[in-house]
Each structure stands twice: as structure tokens, then as C-alpha cells.
Amino acid sequence: MTRAPETIDTTRLVLRRPRLDDADAIFTRYAADPDVTRYVGWPTHNTVDDTRAFLAFSEGHWAQWPAGAYLAWSRDDGKLVGSTGLLFETRRRAMTGYVLARDAWGRGYATEALTAMLHVALLTGVQRLYALCHADHRASARVLEKCGFVCEGTLRRYEDFPNLRPGEPQDVLCYATILQI
């Protein structure tokens, strides 16, 4: 299995594997912001210990698989912009996603970060890269479409969104792309 680089340069971002000492930046920039976390699958972080739990999970994933989460940093001012990554489910199938700090929305960063994840998926031998997004989340669906993902359909009452309507599974769109080596 080819391992992914732990640092990737894109036009405006540096993507790198998270480190344990990134907890404060993640917590402060986006993970504790309810506007940012409305449509994500994890609860808004209440304390930096929640963020440390994510980092421990990320470490475990990188240890087991050829890639994992990445943090996206601005090349311009060095600030943390958000996070993306690959979550491997098998050697050939991975899920992706992205989350950006509020002040980084609307500038094409998610599209830039997801394009880099497509390269990581190709490099590491993923054949199916997919993402789930809430059926009402137009901006996220648009990012996936711009990157060539195809909507395979609606998974009805599929996933709980803990910051939206906890305990009421929501309809999600399943987007995927098939990568050839």
C-alpha cells in the first residue's frame, strides 16, 4: 500500500497530518463553532478534550491506514482554515469530508482541499471515494459536484446530525467518485 504524504501543498493551502498540539487551534477556529458544525456528523466540541479525542482518533487511523485526516492551513497568513481527509473503510473504499472555519467560507477552499483528497485517494489505491451530505446542504453538494462526484441518490432517514435534530435521522445525499489506477 502506498502511503500518502503527510504534508501537501496546494495553491493557497498547506494540508498536513494533525498533531496532538493542534488541539487549541482546531477548537478555537472551528470545532466549537455551532454555525460551522450544524451539518457535520459529530457533536460541537464543548471543551478542548473533545478536540483531543478527535486527534487521538486521527492518530489511530493514520497508524492503521495509508492516510487519514489533514488540517488545512493558509499559506498566506498561516492561520488554520479547516480540516479534510480520508476515512478508510476498506483498502479500496474511503469516505471524505471537509469543514472550514466560518471566515474561510465562500473562497473555494473546500474545492481546493477536496481536489487534493482526490489525489491522495488515487495515490493510495482507493477505488471508491464517497461523501454523505445533508439533503438541504446545497453548498456541500456543490463542492462535491465541482470535484466530479456523482450523486448516487438519497439515503432516507439515514444519519443522525447531533447538532441539528439529535435523535431524528435525516435524509442524506450519497456522492461518490470511482478512481482508476
Ligand X SMILES: CC(C)(COP(=O)(O)OP(=O)(O)OC[C@H]1O[C@@H](n2cnc3c(N)ncnc32)[C@H](O)[C@@H]1OP(=O)(O)O)[C@@H](O)C(=O)NCCC(=O)NCCS
Q: Write out the residues near ligand X by the rule CB under 6 A.
A: 36, 39-40, 82, 97-100, 105-111, 133, 137-140, 142-143
User: With respect to ligand X, which residue has the nearer C-beta, 44 or 127?
Assistant: 44
User: With respect to ligand X, which residue has the nearer C-beta, 9 or 103?
Assistant: 103
Quick one: three-class SS letters along the chain?
CCCCCCEEECCCEEEECCCHHHHHHHHHHHHCCHHHHCCCCCCCCCCHHHHHHHHHHHHHHHHHCCCCEEEEEECCCCCEEEEEEEEECCCCEEEEEEEECHHHCCCCHHHHHHHHHHHHHHHCCCCEEEEEEECCCHHHHHHHHHCCCEEEEEEEEEECCCCCCCCCCEEEEEEEEECCC
User: With respect to ligand X, which residue has the nearer C-beta, 31 or 67?
Assistant: 31
Least distance (Å) between residue 181 CB and ligand X: 27
Least distance (Å) between residue 112 CB and ligand X: 7
Phi, psi of 155 (to 5 degrees): -95, 110
Least distance (Å) between residue 128 CB and ligand X: 17
User: With respect to ligand X, which residue has the nearer C-beta, 101 or 120?
Assistant: 101
Least distance (Å) between residue 101 CB and ligand X: 8
Least distance (Å) between residue 38 CB and ligand X: 7
The Cα–Cα gap between 34 and 143 comes to 21
User: With respect to ligand X, which residue has the nearer C-beta, 69 or 110?
Assistant: 110
Three cell numbers written together for 59: 492518530
